[in-house]
Structure 1
Amino acid sequence: MTPLKLLALDEEDLAVVSSHLQDAVVRVGDLAYLPSQKRFAAVLNRFDWEGVGEGTKDYRRRRTALRFDRVLAAQHKDLRPDFKDRVLSLLAISFEAEDPPSGNITLLFSGDVTIQLKVECLEVELRDLGPAWPTSRKPEHPGDGAAGGESPGASGT
């Protein structure tokens, strides 16, 4: 699995970042809004979806940094920042333009947890931080019919 380094400057780019981060898990304590730097950052364990082949059970995760720049405000729903060890499973990242290029980025997690970032424009970086490690479980989604997968919010380590 080759380390990723992606930059998203428009909605198409963000969709690629979102697809690579589907089912990434993150501790609440590994999320940070830094208003003085206009930045929101997270360190996640992303699932290697591109490495999953037909009939294989060689699943892997990798530590990944995610950075949003030009962030003007951050809000959350159903998230308790004081529960630092709570593990969240990222489902998707989306962007809704308000007064282009500004708008709102939404990070949607399982359990209906959301983080919304008001941004001047899209400026997002995903960067793998180290080697991948094996995990015995593949994340499941409703309707997959897969057995033995991770439930949303599982650590997958």
Structure 2
Amino acid sequence: MADARFEDGDEGPLRLIAQSADDLSVLSALVQDAVFPATEMRLDRKARRFAILLNRFRWEDEAASKAAGRPYERVRSLLVIDDVLKVRTQGVYPRDKDLVLSLLSISFTETTEGAGTVMLVLAGDGAVAVDVEVLDLRLDDVTKPYIAPSRQMPQHKD
């Protein structure tokens, strides 16, 4: 069976921005259960940008996949946070080539007028805290969808 194409589902790649709490809740739901090697996180201090290349489960296609009896899909996506002041990690070793992380959620806590901390919560008690001057995230699908290697929808323990 061949991998999917956006054209098969009459849809295109996601290109989203989040500049408010409401925007961020939508973006967070779409990246839930994304997986990525720790080495795919990058901080560009000069550009004040933090980026992660992740393998995102296509939640927006989950119901259609199930109804059509076709395999679930993932897509490579770039999550970019701009206006970065500082990045801190907990339980994450960005240089560990064997470490694969799973993103559970993204939230924002405002500290002063517009500034605050973007929190990326990872499975296994890991976290990445990104202090920003202003909330400005972008999510761009950068490849065509592909069949999820597990062929399963991510499951969560209650």
Q: Taking structure 1 as the reference length, what is the TM-score of the superposition?
A: 0.87
Q: Which runs of 5+ in 1 are unaligned?
A: 144-157
Which position in structure 2 is the counterpart of 1:30? Answer: 40
Deviates more, 1:76-85 or 1:104-113: 76-85
Contact 1:78 1:112 in 2 (8 A): yes
1:34 positional shift: 1.4
Which position in structure 2 is the counterpart of 1:107? Answer: 120
What is the letter of the counterpart of residue 46 of structure 2? S
Q: Select 2:155's aligned residue among 136, 140, 144.
A: 140
1:100 positional shift: 2.1
1:86-105 equivalences under 5 Å are 86-105=99-118
Displacement over 6 Å in runs of 4+: none
Aligned residues: 143
Identity, % of aligned positions = 35
Q: Considering only aligned residues, what root-mean-square deviation do their CA atoms show, in Å?
A: 1.3
Q: Select 1:78's aligned residue among 58, 81, 91.
A: 91
Contact 1:52 1:58 in 2 (8 A): no
Matches of 1:139 and 1:9, distance apart in 2: 27
Q: Taking structure 2 as the reference length, what is the TM-score of the superposition?
A: 0.86
Matches of 2:87 and 2:126, distance apart in 1: 14
Pair 1:21 & 2:36 matched: no
What is the letter of the counterpart of residue 137 of structure 1? Q
Pair 1:118 & 2:131 matched: yes
